[in-house]
Amino acid sequence: MDNENSMTLGKLPSEWRNLDWQGIHQVSWLSMEELLTYNYDQIVEDRRGNNGRTLEPGLGAKSTLREFLGEWFFSDLYKIRDMGAKRIVFGFD
């Protein structure tokens, strides 16, 4: 699947911060401030089709990013914030 083109999503809160950490080559992070102030009410189009194919623009399901992510995302985000975290680190290999 072409993940980069499967959602019509606005610019992420900041540029990816590519780090090389313990052999994982695509490690980055977003600050809690960036995650908490991002516009989750923007309309996005989920262009993921059957069999991992990306749908043409306009053929996907439209919703707000908030609806797409679901309440569990925000519940977990607020729990992480309340624990005092300053950033969330994520990685791909």
**Residues 6 or more apart from 60 whose CB is under 8 A from it?**
8, 45, 46, 47, 48, 49
Region class of 39: left (phi > 0), else alpha (psi between -120 and 50), else beta? beta
**Residues 6 or more apart from 35 whose CB is under 8 A from it?**
13, 77, 88
The pLDDT tens digits of the residues spanning 22-78 come to 665 667 788 999 899 999 999 999 888 888 888 888 998 999 999 999 999 999 999
pTM score: 0.71
The pLDDT tens digits of the residues spanning 24-36 come to 566 778 899 989 9
